[in-house]
């Protein structure tokens, strides 16, 4: 049963030259020129999907029974669910929980949270921050979900080691039921540890990369535990998969998004895309998108090895808040950005502004309206201001914020990212540029086999001239 | 008594051509060329300071007695302190509380918070989010701090009206002691309301603009209530004021920061500056900086009226987290960014990684080290990776995260921003580009005197061709 009225839509009127002029706007002809390339990329993606090389296309077909069963047990017995992960292992759960979970859970009693635990996503190795979080939670009432596909992620493994040490000390032999691991089904050190200690575990399919993994147990387990309807989320993704079967770039919402961004970056010199939800709940989605877009498209070479230094920089902003922070720059600064708004047509709550403070012109125009109206009028105002200042902007409209609409958005942006990889002719599924920093850390932390690199780095750092202001 | 050992410092070795090559790096000659202009700008700022036209220069000289007294009363009686504000009225308090306040306060008992209330900053008009926050707090135990210099900010006034309505209904006549207002000493509708209802209030000095106001009651009142040592904060700013008296751009840390960013933007085509603290606690400071930089420098015209569309785009990132999100793009993507790291030399806590999981190469290199070491080694790795890939980066080093070092940072970045305004020859203290969106909202919300604009906008919107994907 598909409810088409709940489909998300895209309004791209304001990226076209009719709205923002030929220098900064896109012409119909420029979109048409992309069609042959789009057809090729479409075929390439279809091949990756059919051969099973890339797995995110089909995550919405998976069975969630085991996840929901585990979540039901957690809801009965625990107060807190802590994800230990970083990047793709953390951002998706965090973003979707922000959108459709209980944002103020830490302030609510268990009953007001409908019995669901509070979800925390520990996505950094800041000793102050991580230490404070651990000391604020009762380990007896807490489940720790260690998420790393490879098991080799230094940040996540060091978090796990600290937590393991703490649980062993405080709970003795009983700690094992407090840990659940999400990792590769067969390979890696985390899977070994699961087997050795007989820990609860879930699987990341080998053909699903970290930043495309929110629809797997990586995202679904924490979300189900926090009370998110994961079946509705996947149904949303399935619906978007159904809507994105054609290679028609003006009919397929995912491809349209890619095509617009590509022309903007390559032809109209917009090296930045600002994703700006007008909804605090959707702010995390902009953060999640920023990882997807940056890590997938920011590449030194094409798939054939030509040096291109590709990649549009994603920037997250929040409406209406950033009207009082970034919009001055957006409206008057350089013409180097394109904007993607997330608009919510119907919020869950309606907040009416009461008629107080008497007949003052500065407040009485607000009285009797709702905050909902004010927020959406401000969004229209920002769009209008950008448009008349020749700044291209499009709007992704969500009829409401629900697991279903968010599931649509997730799949749409994942597919857009993959498709954009094709348009730029880069590999959207690897991340060679982060290896260097990893190896640096391995070397300097004294990992086996890295002593040569350590010597090399140390020598180079010693030679370099320091300039400081002290 | 000044403790010089706690001074923040800047290492700019890696922005120079010796480190990142002549195409992307800055030469000593390029810095020298700026000196005459720097001397002029220095004089201009000195004039604004002396004549009292711009007030942030002297905020650290103010007496905080009244603020501390009010805060002591709040600590005795209340559980929650909620800032109602947006942009400059919210970001500073939020950022500094994140840095030196109690980040996990909502999870802690009053005793574990040393009796200080929990601080919330409501900086948006999202009906779901704002509604949830209000319903999660007991109004009898909550102080609401309404912050708007002009009193005309639609978002803040609508928040206040909703809160006023709620308090009147729930607390009848007793609501007045639950509200404290921070606004202009004499002008505006908020001051009128303060006088009419005899509300507690604090003043924003008329010569201090919103984004430069964190050192006034705008920031200090909520911070003092949350238990931040506001005197140490101001002492830090005073210390930085002392260190930034000369016009020597390689000796004055604020001017050095500006000079580097200016050459990077204008000469080396780096339209983006990424501020990336390697500390979760300092992440909010990047957000605060982003407002300061964007709204001050993003300008259509010079002070003389020539059209320039100036402004470098500030981007916030978080280490180590964003190594798994943005660093791929930073290292391999276009050469369009300069980086400013915030490095913490000594964290408050030390988290040791225990020796668990036996002799596995993937984990044993971590055992026995601390998370502190790992985090700072990752920072060194990111700097090194950027540098060898010819991406200019500088590092602001904080010996520790304290009210004193954060106070230094605040003043340094405020002064840098003002100085950069001078280098770009734009007015860093106005924001003409946000007026348009404001007027749009006034018109569409039906404010008196805006019906002509409403008709004009409605006609224009009706005429425009819509293009959608549905």
Q: Which two tokens stand for residue A385?
A: 């201001």
Instruction: Tell me what pLDDT residue A438 has.
Output: 87
**Whether B28 contacts chain A with CB within 8 A:** no
- The 10s digit of each residue's pLDDT in B116-164 is 999 999 999 999 999 999 999 999 999 999 999 999 999 999 999 999 9
Q: Alpha-carbon distance A227 to B131, whole Å? A: 20
Within 13 A of B161's CA, how many CA atoms are on the CB side? 29
Please identify among residues 310-349 of chain A the ones whose CB lies closer than 8 Å to any CB of chain B. 310-311, 313, 315, 318, 320-321, 323-337, 347-349
Please identify among residues 389-408 of chain B the ones whose CB lies closer than 8 Å to any CB of chain A. 401
Residue A250 and residue B469: Cβ atoms within 8 Å?
yes
Please identify among residues 187-246 of chain B the ones whose CB lies closer than 8 Å to any CB of chain A. 188-189, 192-193, 210
Nearest to B385 among A165, A336, A437 (CB): A437
Residue A16 and residue B467: Cβ atoms within 8 Å?
yes
**Whether A307 contacts chain B with CB within 8 A:** no
Measured in residues, chain B has a length of: 470
Within 13 A of B431's CA, how many CA atoms are on the CB side? 24
Q: How confident is the model at residue B2 (pLDDT cuts 50, 70, 90)?
A: very low
Q: Alpha-carbon distance B14 to B391, whole Å? A: 8
Instruction: Tell me what pLDDT residue A1 has.
Output: 42
Radius of gyration of chain B (CA): 24
Give φ, ψ of A201 to 5 degrees: -155, 160
| Residue B172 confidence (pLDDT) above 90 | no
* N-terminal to C-terminal alpha carbon distance within chain B: 66
- The 10s digit of each residue's pLDDT in B405-429 is 999 999 999 999 999 999 999 999 9
| Residue B460 confidence (pLDDT) above 90 | no
- The 10s digit of each residue's pLDDT in A349-359 is 999 999 999 88
Residue A362 and residue B152: Cβ atoms within 8 Å?
yes
- In A, minimum Cα distance to B160 occurs at A353
Reported as type and span, the H/E element at residue A379 is: helix A371-388
Nearest to B320 among A155, A162, A250 (CB): A155
Instruction: Tell me what pLDDT residue A172 has.
Output: 82
The CA distance from B56 to the nearest CA of chain A, in Å, is 18
Q: Which two tokens stand for residue B175?
A: 């609501």
Nearest to B464 among A13, A133, A310 (CB): A13
Q: Which residues of A touch B465 (CB under 8 A)?
A: 13, 18
Task: Give chain A's largest Cα–Cα span.
Answer: 76
Average of per-residue pLDDT across B310-323 = 97
Residue B313 and residue A271: Cβ atoms within 8 Å?
no
3-state secondary structure of B147: strand
Look up tokens 């985090």; give the residue. Answer: B375
- In B, minimum Cα distance to A28 occurs at B467
Q: Which two tokens stand for residue B383?
A: 């700097």
CA A360 to chain centre: 43
Instruction: Tell me what pLDDT residue B406 has.
Output: 98
Structural domains in chain A, sorted by start: 4-50+234-424 (3.40.50.10490), 64-228 (3.40.50.10490), 432-463 (no CATH)
- In A, minimum Cα distance to B108 occurs at A136
| Residue B175 confidence (pLDDT) above 90 | no
- Cβ atoms within 10 Å of A52's Cβ, excluding its own: 12
Q: Which residues of B touch A162 (CB under 8 A)?
A: 351-354, 371
The catalytic site residues of B sit at 295, 324, 438
- In A, minimum Cα distance to B377 occurs at A441
Residue whose C-alpha is closest to residue B281's, from A320, A38, A128: A128
Residue whose C-alpha is closest to residue B24's, from B462, B334, B465, B453: B334
Residues of chain A with pLDDT under 70: 1-5
Q: How many CB pairs under 8 A join A and B?
A: 464
ipTM, interface predicted TM-score of the complex: 0.97
Q: How confident is the model at residue B1 (pLDDT cuts 50, 70, 90)?
A: very low
Look up tokens 């007896």; give the residue. Answer: A140
- The 10s digit of each residue's pLDDT in B79-88 is 999 999 999 9
| Residue B3 confidence (pLDDT) above 60 | no
As a whole-number percent, the residues of chain B with pLDDT over 90 amount to 93
Instruction: Tell me what pLDDT residue A253 has.
Output: 98
């Amino acid at each position: 049963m598909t409810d088409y009225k709940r489909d998300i839509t895209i309004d791209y009127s304001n990226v076209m030259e009719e709205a923002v002029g030929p220098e900064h706007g896109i012409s119909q002809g420029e979109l048409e020129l992309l069609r042959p390339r789009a057809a090729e990329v479409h075929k390439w993606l279809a091949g990756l999907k059919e051969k099973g090389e890339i797995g995110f296309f089909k995550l919405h077909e998976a069975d969630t029974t085991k996840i929901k069963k585990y979540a039901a047990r957690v809801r009965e017995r625990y107060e807190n669910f802590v994800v230990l992960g970083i990047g793709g292992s953390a951002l998706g759960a965090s973003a979707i929980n922000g959108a459709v979970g209980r944002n103020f859970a830490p302030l609510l009693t268990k009953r007001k949270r409908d019995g669901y635990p509070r979800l925390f996503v520990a996505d950094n190795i800041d000793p102050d921050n991580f230490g404070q979080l651990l000391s604020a939670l009762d380990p007896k009432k807490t489940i720790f979900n260690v998420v790393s596909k490879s098991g080799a992620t230094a940040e996540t493994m060091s978090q796990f080691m600290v937590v393991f040490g703490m649980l062993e000390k405080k709970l003795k032999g009983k700690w094992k039921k407090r840990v659940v691991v999400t990792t590769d089904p067969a390979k890696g050190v985390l899977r070994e540890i699961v087997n050795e200690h007989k820990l609860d575990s879930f699987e990341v399919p080998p053909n699903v990369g970290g930043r495309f993994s929110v629809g797997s147990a990586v995202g679904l387990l924490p979300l189900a535990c926090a009370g998110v309807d994961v079946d509705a989320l996947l149904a949303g993704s399935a619906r978007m998969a159904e809507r994105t079967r054609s290679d028609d770039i003006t009919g397929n919402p995912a491809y349209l998004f890619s095509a617009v961004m590509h022309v903007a970056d390559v032809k109209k010199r917009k090296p930045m895309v600002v994703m700006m939800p007008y909804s605090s709940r959707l702010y995390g989605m902009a953060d999640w998108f920023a990882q997807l877009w940056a890590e997938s498209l920011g590449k030194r070479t094409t798939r054939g090895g030509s040096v291109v230094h590709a990649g549009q920089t994603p920037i997250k902003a929040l409406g209406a808040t950033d009207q009082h922070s970034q919009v001055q720059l957006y409206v008057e600064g350089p013409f180097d950005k394109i904007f993607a708004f997330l608009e919510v047509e119907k919020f869950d709550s309606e907040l009416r502004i009461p008629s107080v403070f008497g007949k003052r012109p500065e407040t009485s125009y607000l009285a009797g309206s709702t905050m909902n109206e004010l927020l959406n009028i401000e969004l229209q105002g920002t769009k209008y201001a950008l448009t008349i200042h020749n700044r291209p902007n499009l709007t992704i409209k969500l009829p409401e914020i629900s697991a279903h609409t968010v599931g649509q958005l997730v799949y749409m942006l994942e597919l857009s990212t993959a498709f954009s990889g094709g348009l730029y002719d880069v590999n959207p599924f690897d991340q060679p540029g982060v290896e260097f920093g990893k190896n640096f850390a391995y070397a300097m932390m004294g990992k086996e086999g890295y002593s040569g690199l350590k010597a090399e780095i140390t020598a180079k750092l010693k030679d370099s001239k320091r300039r400081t202001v002290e």
